[in-house]
Amino acid sequence: MIRFFHVSKFFDRCAALHDVTFRIDEGECVILSGPSGAGKTTLLRVIFGMEVPDDGQILVQNRNIARLHARDLPYLRRTIGFVPQNFQLLSQKTVYENVILPLIVQGVKRSEARRRVAATLQAVGIDHKQAIRAGVLSAGEQQRVCIARAIVTRPVIVLADEPTGNLDEELADEIIALFHTIHAQGTTVLLATHNQRVMAQMRGRVLQMRAGDVVSDKRMVT
């Protein structure tokens, strides 16, 4: 599903990723762990095609990201849901408008899009807020909207960058439960966190990062 071959990425000659090699198989749940600055966000961004690696190769669903033409990138992204670290919602738009947007971009028929949005908002427990502007929601509610926006397109891969970073423990537990549900439905999940509690709850495989390197690859003991 995702394969890295000696991938490096530099910013101002500093290595955000350094000779990174690993693979993630279809249906896996993988936690990307490490302190701030370890390279977790950069790794997610290169998978999503938001950054281009300086060295190495990345295969996502057997497609080489580094060689993918810019016009083909949106088609690959349709199969990947991305939950960014800081929500990045359209604050003046409603919950419904935020979640339906990727379906409109994909050209999904309006009737089908409405049906998918309704089902997705119900699945993440935010359907009663669909007419509310996103900017007035609580942090936990905004995170649910972000997750809904990421999964409404029915992606085969979901990437999440510190999805509980702005939440208290109770809300974080609820968000992690959502990711368990997403994974149980067969979706490949790659979740970045530095939170040990979240790592323990996800109970998946852990790629530990430090200074741009993957320094260990192990499974959580439950």
- Whole-structure pTM value: 0.93
Answer whether residue 125 is part of any domain.
Answer: yes
pLDDT of residue 222: 53
Q: Is residue 78 part of a domain?
A: no
Q: How would residue 74 be classed by pLDDT, with cut points 50, 70 and 90?
A: confident
Six-digit token pair at 91? 């604050």
Q: Which of 130, 154, 152 is nearest to 141 (CA)?
A: 130
Strands 157-161 and 14-24: unpaired
Kindly state whether residue 119 falls inside one of the protein's structural domains: yes
Within a domain: 139: yes
Q: Is residue 101 part of a domain?
A: yes
The pLDDT tens digits for 168-207 are 899 899 999 999 999 999 999 999 998 888 888 888 899 9
**Which has more pLDDT, 168 or 22?**
22
pLDDT of residue 95: 98
The tally of domains found in the chain comes to 1
pLDDT digits (tens, 9 = 90+) for 23-67: 999 999 999 999 989 999 999 999 999 999 999 999 999 889 878
Residue 136 lies in a domain: yes
Domain assignment present for 16: no
Query: Would 140 be classed as within a structural domain?
Result: yes
Which range marks the domain in which residue 109 is found? Answer: 93-154
